[in-house]
Amino acid sequence: MALGRAGPALALPLLLPRRPAGSGTAAAGSPQGPGAVVRVPWALRQRLQRGAQRRRRGQEEAAAPRPGKLLLRSRRPELSQPRWQTVGRWEQPPLVSAGWKHRKAYGDYFQLEPSQEAAPALQALPAEAGQGPTFAELGLQPALLAGLERLSIGRPTAVQRLAIPALRRGRSALCAAETGSGKTLAYLLPLLERLLGRPEAPAEAGGLRRQLRAPPAGPAVLLGTPGALREGLRRRFLALERLRWMVLDEVDSLMDESFTELLEEILAHAPLAAGAPRAAGPDEERTQVVVVGATFPAGLSETLSKFTDVSRFVNLSTQSLHRLPPHVLQKFVRLKGRDKLPELLQLLKERPSSGGAVLIFCNSASTVNWLGYILDDHKIKHLRLQGQMSAAARAGIFASFQKGDVSVLVCTDLASRGLDTSSVQLVVNYDFPDTLQDYLHRAGRVGRVGSKAPGAVVSFVTHRWDVDLVRKIETAARKRTGLPGMDSINKPSPKGG
C-alpha cells in the first residue's frame, strides 16, 4: 500500500497486531508477510528529520550555560539567570523553586551569586563625587575624630552620611538601613557630641536604685530593656522628666507582641519631641527620638503617633533597605528533614580551619541543645546560645565566640540582631527562618562593615511553608527588588476632620 504521490519513498516497517486464525479474509492483493510496509514520501521524511534536528538543537542550547556572569546559578542550567538579563516588574520569571513542594525536588538547589565585592553601605551615593564626605566634613568634634582614627574607622557609611547631619541638628528621625551598615555609630556619634558639650559630672558608685534615685548633676546615659525600664517607672525610682534623647534600637523586636505594651507605657512617661524642636525656653526642652531598625514593622507609626507627631520626623533610609545583600553568596538547598544533619556535618568537616567563624541558626532552644549533643559526638567544638540561658551566661558565651576561642556557634534568632559578628564568614540556616525579616537579619551576620570577607549563607529548605518564602526570595533576586511585605516607614492613616 502506498501513501502520497508517486515518487521516491522510504519503506518503513509497520508492526501490526496479529489476527487470530480465521478472524477474517485479507483484502485481495494485500501482503501476507509478518508485517505490512508503509512507504513515507521523501518530502514528509525531510520535514520530520528537520523537526527532530530543531528539537535536539533547542535542548542543547537550553542545557548550555548562558554567556556572561550569573546572577542566579541553578542545578538545572536552563533556569540560571545571567546578570545582564532583566525581568520586568509585572513579569513572572521561571523559578527553580516552583516545583519544590513535590517530593521529586529533594536534592535540588540554586544559589545567588555575589554581584559586587564591597558592602552597599560602603558605596558612595550617586549624587556624591568620589567616596563621599569624611567624618570631619560632617562637622564632628576633634575629640570624636581622634577616637574614630584610633579605631581605624576611615569614612562614614551610607546611613551615617544620612543620619549624622540630621541628628546633629536635633531632628527626631526614623532611621532604616540594612544590617551591618553602621546604624549604631550613626546615632552614637551625634549623641556623644551632645554629651561632650555638657558639663562633666563626677562618677557615682552604688547600685542601680541608688544611681537612679540620686542621679549626677551632669549628663547620664541609661541602657535598658523594656521590662527593666517599666519596672523602674512603676516603682518610682526612675523618672523621665529630664530625658533629652531616646533611641529605640532594633525597633522590629520592640514592636513584638510581647513588648508593645511595655514600650507604650515607657513612651507615655517621656516628654517626646514632635520632630524638630520648637523655639522654647530651657524648661520646655523636649526629647529627641531616634527610631532605628533594619526592618520597620507594620503599626510602628500608629504606635508612635499616640505620643508624638510622627509626620515631623525626618525619614532616613538607604537604597539597599529590605534588599538581599548583593555581595554575599546565598545558597538554598531542598532537603528532607533526615538529610539536614549529614549535610551540615559534611559542610563543617570540609570547611578549612582558616575559613572564619560559623553561625548555625535553629528555630528553637530544644533544637540548639539537640544539635549541640550531635556535634559533641562528632568531636566538633562549638558553643550554644539560646534564650533559656541567663543573661550573664549568654554574654560570656558570645564574648568567648567573639574572641575566637571557638569558631562554631549554634544559636537561635537571639544572635541575629544587635551583635557584632564581623568574624563570621558562614551562616547556616539549619532551620529555615519563619519570616523574610528573620532571613534578612540572619543573612546580615556576614558581609558586615569591617568584615574581612563577604561570606556566604547556606539555607536548608525542608517544609512546604519554607518553600513559599524561598519563592519570594528567588523572585526578588531575579527582579532585583526588595523583599515583599516590608515597608520602610509605615505612615499613619490621615485623620478626618
pLDDT tier at 281 (50, 70, 90 boundaries)? very low
What is the spatial distance between Cα 186 and Cα 189, in angstroms, rounded to a whole number? 6
| 226 plus 313 within the same structural domain | yes
| 135 plus 275 within the same structural domain | yes
Nearest-CA neighbor of 94 among 471, 481, 403? 471
CATH of the domain at 104: 3.40.50.300
Q: Is residue 7 part of a domain?
A: no
pLDDT one-digit tens code per residue, 423-470: 899 999 999 999 999 999 999 999 887 777 789 999 999 999 999 999
Residue 247 has pLDDT above 50, yes or no: yes
| 134 plus 271 within the same structural domain | yes
Q: Is residue 291 part of a domain?
A: yes
| 125 plus 114 within the same structural domain | no
pLDDT at 282: 47
Q: Is residue 378 part of a domain?
A: yes
Residue 135 has pLDDT above 50, yes or no: yes
What is the spatial distance between Cα 424 and Cα 300, in angstroms, rounded to a whole number? 31
| 258 plus 142 within the same structural domain | yes
Q: Which residues are CB-contacts of 38 (< 8 A; sequence separation ≥ 6)?
A: 1, 3, 11, 12, 14
| 420 plus 279 within the same structural domain | no
| 348 plus 237 within the same structural domain | no
Q: Is residue 21 part of a domain?
A: no
pLDDT tier at 150 (50, 70, 90 boundaries)? very high
Average pLDDT, the chain: 82
Q: Is residue 393 part of a domain?
A: yes
Q: Is residue 270 part of a domain?
A: yes
| 138 plus 100 within the same structural domain | no
Of 290, 317, 344, the last residue of a domain is: 317
pLDDT one-digit tens code per residue, 377-399: 999 999 999 989 988 899 899 99
Of 270, 288, 317, the last residue of a domain is: 317
Name the domain count of the chain.
2
Q: Are strands 36-41 and 9-14 parallel, antiparallel or unpaired?
A: antiparallel
pLDDT at 165: 93
| 365 plus 291 within the same structural domain | no
Grid coordinates of 102: 513535590
Q: Is residue 127 part of a domain?
A: yes
What is the spatial distance between Cα 320 and Cα 367, in angstroms, rounded to a whole number? 33
Beta bridge partners of 72: 81, 112
Of 295, 317, 339, the last residue of a domain is: 317
pLDDT at 178: 86
| 155 plus 298 within the same structural domain | yes
pLDDT at 28: 46
Q: Is residue 32 part of a domain?
A: no
Looking at per-residue pLDDT, the higher value among 19 and 113 belongs to: 113
| 468 plus 337 within the same structural domain | yes
CB 241 within 8 A of CB 271: yes
Average pLDDT score over residue span 257-282: 70
Residue 189: domain span: 120-198+220-317
| 130 plus 184 within the same structural domain | yes
